[in-house]
Amino acid sequence: MQLTRVDQQKQEAETEILRKIAYQVGVDAETVTAQQAYQGVAWTVRERLIDAFNKTQAYWREKDPKFIYYLSAEFLMGRTLTNAVNNLGLEGEFGEAIRKLGYSLEELQSQEQNASLGNGGLGRLAACFLDSIATLSLPGWGYGIRYRYGMFRQGLENGFQSESPDTWLTNGNPWEIPRRDLAYKIGFYGSVQDGKWQPAEQVYAVAYDNPIPGYGTKTVGNLRLFDCQPMSEFKLASFNEGKYSEATEDKRKAEDISAVLYPNDATEYGRELRLKQQIFFVSAAMQDTLARFKKTHKDMKELPSKACFQMNDTHPTIGVAELMRLLIDQEGLQWEAAWDITTKTLAFTNHTVMPEALEKWPVAVIGKLLPRHMEIIEKIDSIWIESLRKKVTAQVGSQSPKNALEKVAGAVKGALEEKTADPVEAALAKYSIITENPWEKGVKLVNMAFMATIGSKSTNGVAAIHSEIIKETIFKDFYELSPEKFQNKTNGVTPRRWLAYCNPGLSKLITETLGSNEWIAKTDQLAGLRKFSDDKAFQKKWRSIKLENKQRLADLIKSRVGISVPTNALYDVQIKRIHEYKRQHLNMFSVVNRYLNIKAASPEERKKMVPRVVVIGGKAASAYVMAKKMIKLVTAVGEVVNKDPDVGDLLKVVFLPDYNVSLAEVIVPGAEVSQHISTAGTEASGTSNMKFQMNGCLIIGTMDGANIEIAQESGKENMFVFGVDAKDIGRLREERKNFKVEDPRWNKIMQFLTSSTFEAGLFQDLVDNVNDMSKANDWFLLGNDFSDYLRAQDEIDALYKDQDAWTKRSILYTAGSGFFSSDRCIDQYAKEIWDVKPCEVPSS
Ligand code: NTF
């Protein structure tokens, strides 16, 4: 009998997998364990990936299109197998072979370690962007660090967070291609003589390529990560003299650089290490790009038409000085030419207005580690200020002051109005990259965000409100000077990982309903679900899928923390980094309120209550004491609630430890309501809100970050909106000393948390932090938002009792989520900032 093409492909896949199991893994297919089967399948998929990768890269070399290089300290990739199989369209071919081994794709996938090379939203955004860049066939690579240890593994000890290293590479990594022959020298310390830098120390940045398959295209992009290696790894002479640690000291020091993401910066060594990491990957990325560019181009002036570097937050912004250095010191360009190229090649994204995350490096630290860069930064600053001084003096001098007031930038206006002795100088100081540390006299700092803005062609925020806020706050003066440089690019998430693959049930229903699976690449089509939102039969199907996903989440909770949660309860989720501005403690105050209500209720009243499962997940930065206390708050309240017989199944409180990408892939589809409750004006965008929306999970949230645009797309009336407005935050913070929460429930909660239910004093600091107004505390305004938050919570319970109305809203969420695809976002970056065009390998 003649085999069909499909059967033939299946057979080939099976043969390949069996060969890999036999010769790469070295085991017998009959007795293969899940891990071994995963290895066999992954190494087979890898070959398919590399085939397409090689073709794409060769095609791009031939066509020489303009590239986008995404520079990011974080890439939170999660697991690769399912994504690669699905994006490459291999599920048909591989599915059967995997089943014959006795496993499912899902089981094999669970064997893979998460690549947690990121901290949170910023890193996951970078991963979604890579998926969309490849999907849109945009010539583009990511550049970052191959951290040997990912984001720490979080455990719980006595309800507190414990941290252990994330050894994600122990089973090898089938998804990377080591390029040991591709290594760049990175220098540190030393001195500068006549503009020439002699570094005192050097290391190698060794490239590892991670192919990134696009969806519905032959394009496979690349994430090039660098590992740090010493120039010489072993000093034999020292070893022979018995100086064993000296013999390997260089190796250890080099390996520190690519050891962990965000080493603790509490010590000087830690701070220096962070800066080392930044220059390490940025310099390697730029050297790598220039080396490729020079193979086909002679004139450096063409660089801006062939390359754009997008700097993901401040971590890569030393790139401004590094590109200048490479162009001047290595390529022999004059300052002006180099500056012109640099400012046309770089672009900058700001992801936060939190002062602690806006990096400012002491001049002394940069000067010691990177003396040539410091020289360049000083020169950039002085030329920049000089150019402003000329403009301003010309205007102030040649015109009547009134006229000048209207024409010069806001800062000068301010200074003139304030009648500062020397208004021009006072104003100019506001624009300077190098400023005095307000808390440490005489210590000068380099404001990395300012340098990035000055050295880039564009600066963008990540949601509409955030892009407005940065123009009014941190970049106010810069915006007034060059408004055309400022843009908004509202974030997006990939609909492949975050809907199609993580929620196969819903994905299948959507495809059946819309008549095709085109929505996976064209998410605008999800709007087609709107007309089914009232359809009772459709609602029923929608609900039954949610129930399956809730069961999956309930199983996960049981296996991770041993708590049984009922599936008839409302699943309420808050997953994100633990931070005071994200206000997980406000969530817990409402949980305590619910608990106290249940306790006070009669059996009859209890029967009418909507049962709730509250799930919280997220990591606290290891040095962030209050965030760690907030985790303890969740676990301690959970202990009390979960074992109280009066409560039964009416309320369960779960802290899911070690939250990561693959946990999110189970939690998001299973959630019914999710919390995005940051103080207005503090969350730049948020991206999990978009994932929940796509999966038809209702949102309780403040008018902050992308919540505002989600409300526009899915209907504000469908969202549980509460809280003060961002524009009032400044005033409310001023007024805190005279503020008192009038709601009696607030005091009851505070009393409960400081009562003998908990260890004496355990939550005193947390309570004082939001409640002790004599110290003008509560910076994040929990008290101001408290009553309105509880009102919104009540609305949730009321609506849940009407399952049809609830389901209708759920459908409308998914239907309105099309805008939040990272494909839309990347398309905007490509057209409005990068000027990069699709370049797809033609079908042959
Ligand atoms: C984060 N920023 C923001 O806090 C989130 O609101 C946003 O969704 C993501 O970036 C992605 O844009 C950071 O992690 C950082 F580093 F900037 F603080």
Over residues 46-98, the pLDDT tens digits come to 999 999 999 999 999 999 999 999 999 999 999 999 999 999 999 999 999 99
Does residue 402 have an active-site annotation? Answer: no
How far is ligand 1, taken at its centre, from the CA of residue 57, in Å? 31
pLDDT at 401 over 70: no
Respond yes or no: is residue 5 known to be catalytic.
no
Per-residue pLDDT reduced to its tens digit, 1-21 = 678 888 899 999 999 999 999
Question: In this model, does residue 194 exceed pLDDT 90?
Answer: no
Summarize the confidence of residues 727-734 as an average pLDDT.
96
The catalytic residue among 325, 582, 585, 628 is 582
Instruction: For this complex, say whether ipTM is above 0.90.
Output: yes
Catalytic-residue membership of 296: no
Binned at pLDDT 50, 70 and 90, residue 776 comes out as confident
Q: How many percent of the chain have pLDDT more than 90? A: 89
| Residues in a beta bridge with 347 | 310
- Whether 495 lines ligand 1, by a CB cut-off of 6 Å, is no
Checking if the pLDDT of 690 tops 70, the result is yes
CATH topology of domain 570-820: Rossmann fold (3.40.50)
The alpha carbon dihedral of 380, 385, 390, 395 has a sign of positive
576-634 pLDDT per residue, tens: 999 999 999 999 999 999 999 999 999 999 999 999 999 999 999 999 999 999 999 99
pLDDT score recorded for residue 265: 82
Cβ of 491 below 6 Å from ligand 1: yes
pLDDT of residue 326: 98
**In this predicted structure, what is the pLDDT of residue 455?**
98
pLDDT band at 392 (very low <50, low <70, confident <90, very high): confident
- How many Å lie between the centroid of ligand 1 and the Cα of residue 242? 49
What atom of ligand 1 comes closest to residue 349's alpha carbon? 12
What is the whole-number distance in angstroms between the Cα of residue 121 and the centre of ligand 1?
5
> In the predicted model, is pLDDT for residue 400 greater than 60?
no
Among candidate residues 306, 576, 594, 632, the one labeled active-site is 576
User: How far does residue 19's CA lie from ligand 1's centre (Å)?
Assistant: 44
In 3D space, the residue among 284, 293, 287, 365 whose CA is nearest the CA of residue 329 turns out to be 287
Asked if residue 219 lies in contact with residue 840, where contact means CB atoms within 8 angstroms, the answer is: yes
Give the position of tokens 């990768």: 53
Say which of 124, 224, 306, 351 is annotated catalytic. Answer: 351
Q: How far is the CA of 782 from the centre of ligand 1 (A)?
A: 21
CA of 353 to the centre of ligand 1 (A): 9
Q: Which tokens is 243 given?
A: 């100086």
402 has pLDDT over 90: no
Average pLDDT over residues 717-733: 97
pLDDT in tens, 468-519: 999 999 999 899 889 999 999 999 999 999 999 999 999 999 999 999 999 9
Q: What are the residue ranges of CATH 3.40.50.2000 in the chain?
A: 114-389+442-494, 570-820
Whether 687 is catalytic is yes
Catalytic residue status for 585:
no
Please tell me the distance between residue 517's alpha carbon and the centre of ligand 1 in angstroms. 31
Q: Can you tell me the mean pLDDT for 407-426?
A: 71
683 within ligand 1 shell (Cβ under 6 A): yes
Alpha-carbon dihedral sign for residues 529, 530, 536, 541: positive
Pick the CATH number of 114-389+442-494 from 2.40.50.140, 1.10.10.10, 1.10.3130.10, 3.40.50.2000: 3.40.50.2000
Provide the token pair at 542: 């929608």
Q: Is 685 in the pocket of ligand 1 (CB under 6 A)?
A: yes
Query: Which band of pLDDT confidence, cut at 50, 70 and 90, is reported for residue 407?
Result: low
Confidence category of residue 427, pLDDT binned at 50, 70, 90: confident
What is the SS3 assignment for 689-750? HHHHHHCCCEEEECCCCCHHHHHHHHCHHHCEECCCCHHHHHHHHHHHHHCCCCCHHHHHHH
pLDDT of residue 332: 97
- The residue nearest atom 2 of ligand 1, judged by CA position, is 351
Active site residue 351: yes
87 CB within 6 A, ligand 1: no
Per-residue pLDDT for 405 more than 60? Answer: no
Q: Is the CB of 489 under 6 A from ligand 1?
A: no
Look over the chain and give the mean of its residue pLDDT values, rounded to a whole number.
Answer: 95
825 Cβ closer than 6 Å to some ligand 1 atom: no
Q: Which atom, in ligand 1's list, is nearest to the CA of 120?
A: 14
Residue 150 contacts residue 114 (beta carbons within 8 Å): yes
Average pLDDT over residues 736-746: 94
Is 139 close to ligand 1, i.e. is its CB under 6 Å away?
no
Say if residue 202's pLDDT is above 90: yes
What confidence score (pLDDT) does residue 357 get?
A: 82
Catalytic residue, candidates 80, 494, 687, 702? 687
Nearest ligand 1 atom, CA 124 = 11
CA of 467 to the centre of ligand 1 (A): 13
Q: 125: CA distance to ligand 1 center in Å?
A: 9
Return the sign of the alpha-carbon dihedral for residues 86, 505, 798, 558: negative
Candidates 691, 754, 807, 814; catalytic one = 691
| Pocket residue to mutate for ligand 1, from 71, 75, 122, 576, most atoms within 8 A of Cβ | 122
